[in-house]
A and B are shown apart, each in its own frame.
Chain A
């Protein structure tokens, strides 16, 4: 069984990699298996974790969970064309809950925390510690303040990017480009490590060519 699983994994791995040559039936077969298995995986996982784990095991202590289950059931009414419009109710709940939660969370974490972290003493290590910061720390703090401010100026589209405002926006683009470059570098590295993992599987676990 273990041997079969190993060969099956290798067959499917090579099937997906064969797309590098061109779209072919081996790739399509692997892709079709992936779609079916993934969909089944998520339905089963959510069934046991959420429906059984959160609703079925908890409704005795918390009868209000039935409201959630009822809303979920209403979503299935989408399959009945005549009363399919009722499925908008659970959707409205999801949209309302997400809006309410995100409005407060983003206000706190994305705005307040970030602004507070940016507004810090430039020349000292604390508010009461005098001018004790080193040159390196001062330059880094300045870069952060200037970069955040000019980056925000770039995202302000209600005013034409001309003159001093345009100059600030241009500096902002430079900072945003560095951010994109850093993210790009990280993405390349994460994909490469996945590829190395699959090569390690093929050459090591499957073919036994590397230890």
Chain B
């Protein structure tokens, strides 16, 4: 019962969506299911938020290592929640958009969330640089190809690349680094991308079939 009903739901929903492609009146099913999907996602995020609080409150209670930072996380979560759900400081009160300029939610996003996320991702530039060092040591033919392609793409998108090979005459303009970068993107890179995309497509189809037919059941967890 605990396994059969979810398997039946997966089978019916999956089959209906496949069939709906072939029967035009059912075409709206995709839109309807997408909206349901979005509504369920809200509850999933509620669950995630609740879980975040549970984990950090537990850490706090047990005075685990770095428990002080858990207070900060809980405070940050609560402040954002209160500012957004009650639309504090919104120019048009509760009827206006949650991210209306001038609201507390908007200010926190701009002065805390945005700089933090941009810096977090920019930090990766340093780690990528260190990874490049390891990857760019051309140990074999494959690594050399990776190195050359990455190097040409990097140079081709910068003014330095234009300057470096700008003297090459137009009759052999393909040898100019920016043009070479475009050719790599549009030919060998495209071929590799296509092979990868077709491979992914075949993988997704086989996995989807396994799920719809109930062969793959790992998403249901155990028997409890």
Contact = CB atoms under 8 A, between A and B. Distances in A.
Q: Are these two chains actual partners, yes or no?
A: yes
Nearest to B53: A39
Contacts, number: 390
Interface in A81-119: 85, 88-104, 106-107, 109-111, 114-115, 117-118
Majority-rule SS of B interface residues: helix
A35 B71 CA distance: 12
A116 B75 CA distance: 54
Interface string A7-28: 0110011001101100000001
A46 to B, nearest CB: 5
Contacts of A150: 195
B40 A93 contact: yes
Contact of B108 (A37, A147, A149, A198): A37
A155 B153 contact: no
Nearest to B18: A100
Contacts of B163: none
A75 B43 contact: yes
The residue in A16, A58, A97, A150 that gathers the most chain B C-beta atoms within 10 A of its C-beta is A97
Interface stretch (A63-71, A124-132, A158-166): A63-71
A37 B17 CA distance: 37
B106 to A, nearest CB: 11
B193 interface: yes
B167 interface: no
B216 to A, nearest CB: 9
> Which of A36, A78, A102, A175 has most chain B Cβ within 10 Å?
A36
A36 B128 contact: no
A119 to B, nearest CB: 11
A171 B98 CA distance: 53
A144 B194 contact: yes
Given A20-B126, A89-B6, A186-B153, A68 B208 contact: no
A105 to B, nearest CB: 9
A208 interface: no
B81 A43 contact: yes
A92 B38 contact: no
Given A97-B14, A136-B174, A144-B190, A42 B45 contact: yes
A179 B193 contact: yes
A117 B45 contact: no
A197 B30 contact: no
Interface residues of B, number: 125
B63 interface: no
Contact of B196 (A88, A149, A176, A191): A176
Interface in B166-216: 174, 183-202, 204-205, 207-209, 211-212
**Which of A31, A106, A179, A186 has the most CB atoms of chain B within a 10 A radius of its CB?**
A179
B198 A110 contact: yes
A114 B201 CA distance: 10
A188 B154 contact: yes
B205 A45 contact: no
Given A13-B115, A96-B14, A106-B200, A143 B153 contact: no
Q: Which 8 A-B pairs have the closest CB atoms?
A: A147-B191, A151-B195, A36-B76, A40-B80, A100-B17, A181-B149, A179-B192, A44-B84
25 contacts: A9-B111, A33-B72, A36-B75, A36-B80, A38-B117, A44-B98, A46-B42, A50-B41, A58-B35, A68-B39, A89-B6, A90-B40, A93-B9, A93-B10, A96-B212, A103-B204, A110-B204, A144-B187, A145-B191, A149-B195, A151-B199, A177-B192, A179-B192, A181-B149, A201-B115
Interface of A: 1, 5-6, 8-9, 12-13, 16-17, 19-20, 28-48, 50-51, 54-55, 58, 64-65, 67-69, 71-73, 75-76, 78-79, 85, 88-104, 106-107, 109-111, 114-115, 117-118, 136, 140, 143-152, 154-155, 172-182, 184-189, 191-192, 194-195, 197-198, 201
Given A13-B116, A140-B183, 9 more contacts: A34-B116, A44-B105, A99-B207, A114-B197, A148-B191, A181-B145, A184-B150, A194-B118, A198-B115
